[in-house]
Amino acid sequence: MVEHPAAVHGVPVVDTFAEAFGMRAARVIITAASPRWARQAATTMTGFATSVIACKCEAAIERELLPRLTPDGRPGISVLVFATDSDGLQKRLVERIGQTVLTCPTTACFDGLPDATERMSVGKPLRVFGDGFQASKVVAGRRYWRIPVMEGEFLIQEDFGRVKGIGGGNFLILGETAEAALAAAEAAVEAMAGIAGVILPFPGGIVRSGSKVGAKRYKTMVASTNDAFAPTVRPITSTELEDGVNSVLEIVLDGLDFESIAGAMRVGIMAACRPGVRRITAGNYGGKLGPHHFHLRKILGGDRSPGPVPAAAPSGGTP
C-alpha cells in the first residue's frame, strides 16, 4: 500500500491537487560550435515565454545535450515550447527560430520529437530568407534546408514534431519570510533542473505573482493577483494564509506527459520542505478548468499515475 505523507521533513503538505491544462508541445534541438552559443540562442529563443496569457507560448530550456546526443555531433541545448493550439505552436516556432536562432552565430536547428506523427512545417517557411539561394537535402527520410547567411550557412530541419502536452502543474511554497520562501523555491528549482520532458517557464523557475482566473473589480482581466495567497492584503480579503506566513512563491511546470511532471513535482516538493516553510499546497479551481490533476500526497507517496479526467473539462493555457 502506498503511503501518502502528510508532511516532509516536518513541513505539512496539504491534501489537495494542482490543476493543469492541455497544451500542444514541441522540442527544439539547438546546436552550435560551442556550448556558449547554443545556450545563448536557446536563452534568447525562450525569452518572454512565461505564460500563454500574454506571451502566446510557454518555453524554456529543458536541458543541455552532450555532442554525442545531438544530430550533428556538436554541443546542444534542448528547448520545449508549449502553446494552446497547433497553429499557434507552429507560428511561435517559425517566429522565434527565425528571429533568435537563425540570427545567432554558428547555430543549427533540429526537431527533438522525431517519432511524433503530427508534423509542422518550420524550416520550409524560413527557407525563403535565403532569397532563392537556399538548398535542401533529404537525409534518412527527413528534409533539411541550408540557408546562406553572411557567416556561412544556417541548417534547419524542414518539419518538426508536435505532441499533446500539459501546462500548469504547480505547487505553492508558504514561507515565514521572503528569504525562507525564496531559499526553498531555489532549492526546488535546482533539484528539478535538467529533468527530461519538463520545463519551468517563469523567471528562474519561480513565480512571485500567482494569479486567479478573472478579477473581482476589473471584469476585462483574464487573470489577476491571487489575493487569497497575498500576505499584504490578508486583513481585507478572504485569505488562505494563516498567521506566520508572510511570503508565498509558486513553481509552475509544463511537461510532455503526466508522469514527467509528477516526477519533477515530487523532487521539487521534497527539496522545498526545509526550515522556514510553513506548508506546501497547490493551485486549483475545483477541478472545473483543467483535466489534469496532480494530487500532492499521492505524488509524494510515489504514485505518479494520472488522476480522474472530468469528461467535459475544457483544455487551455495556464491561467
DSSP 315: P
Q: CATH 1.20.1260.10: does it fit domain 7-20+166-300?
A: no
Q: Cα–Cα distance between 317 and 223 in angstroms, integer?
A: 12
At residue 287 the predicted structure's pLDDT band, cuts being 50, 70 and 90, is: confident
- Residue 103 pLDDT > 90: yes
Q: Is-contact 284 226, C-beta < 8 A? A: no
pLDDT for position 303: 73
Q: Residue 318: is its pLDDT beyond 50?
A: no
Share of the chain above pLDDT 90, in %: 89
Express each pLDDT in 109-146 by its tens digit.
Answer: 999 999 999 999 999 999 999 999 999 999 999 999 99
Over residues 46-72, the pLDDT tens digits come to 999 999 999 999 999 999 999 999 999
Place of cell 494530487: 295
Query: What is the band of 5 on the pLDDT scale with cuts at 50, 70, 90?
Result: confident
Q: Which of 93-97, 120-124, 207-211, 309-313 has the lowest mean pLDDT?
A: 309-313
**Domain with residues 23-163, CATH architecture:** 2-Layer Sandwich (3.30)
Which triple of cell numbers denotes residue 244? 506566520
**Every domain of the chain and the residues it spans:** 7-20+166-300, 23-163
* Mean pLDDT in residue range 254-261: 98
In DSSP notation, 272-294 reads: H--TTEEEEE---STTSS-SEEE
172-189, pLDDT tens digit by residue? 999 999 999 999 999 999
